[in-house]
Amino acid sequence: MGFAFTDSASYLYTSESVTEGHPDKLCDQISDAILDAILAKDPEARVACETCVTNGLVVVMGEITTNSYVDVSRVIRDTIHGAGYNDPDFGFDSKSCGVIVSLQEQSKDIALGVDSSQEAKETGSRNDDPDKIGAGDQGMVVGFACNETAELMPLSIALSHRLCERLAYVRKEGLIPYLRPDGKAQVTVEYSYGVPKRIEAVVVSTQHSPEVSQEVIERDITALVINEVVPKNLLDNNTKVFINPTGRFVVGGPVADTGLTGRKILVDTYGGVARHGGGPSPAKTQPK
Whether residue 253 contacts residue 92, with contact meaning beta carbons closer than 8 Å, is answered with yes
Residue of 24 and 113 predicted with greater confidence? 24
Paired strand residues for 273:
none
Span 10-18+144-251: which CATH code? 3.30.300.10
Residue of 78 and 109 predicted with greater confidence? 78
In 3-state terms, what secondary structure has residue 79?
A: helix
Nearest one of 201, 202, 203, 182 to 249, comparing CA atoms: 182
Does the pLDDT at position 282 exceed 90?
no
Upper half-sphere CA count for residue 182 (Cβ side, 13 Å): 24
Does the pLDDT at position 126 exceed 80?
no
Compute the average pLDDT of residues 43-66: 93
In 3-state terms, what secondary structure has residue 64?
A: strand
Compute the average pLDDT of residues 220-235: 97
- The percentage of the chain sitting over the pLDDT mark of 90, rounded to a whole number, equals 72
Q: Could you give phi then psi for residue 261, rounded to 5 degrees?
A: -55, 135
Most distant CA atoms of the chain, gap in Å:
70
Helices (H), the chain: 23-41, 72-83, 108-115, 118-123, 155-172, 214-221, 227-229, 265-268
Say how far apart CA 187 and CA 204 lie, in whole Å. Answer: 9
Helices (H), 173-252: 214-221, 227-229
pLDDT digits 0-9 by tens, 190-208? 999 889 999 999 999 999 9
DSSP letter string over 110-154? HHHHHHS-HHHHHHT--S-SGGGS---S---------SSSTTSS-
Does the pLDDT at position 116 exceed 60?
no
| CA 17 from centroid of its chain's CA atoms | 8
Say how far apart CA 93 and CA 133 lie, in whole Å. Answer: 42
Residue 150, C-beta contacts closer than 8 angstroms, at least 6 positions apart: none
Whether residue 146 contacts residue 191, with contact meaning beta carbons closer than 8 Å, is answered with no
What's the whole-number average pLDDT of the chain? Answer: 88
pLDDT digits 0-9 by tens, 128-145? 566 666 666 667 788 899
pLDDT score of 46:
86
Domain boundaries, the chain: 10-18+144-251
pLDDT digits 0-9 by tens, 16-49? 999 999 999 999 999 999 999 999 999 988 888 9
Q: Could you give phi then psi for residue 64, rounded to 5 degrees?
A: -135, 130
Does the pLDDT at position 287 exceed 50?
no
Highest-pLDDT range among 61-75, 96-110, 122-136, 156-170:
156-170
pLDDT score of 69:
93
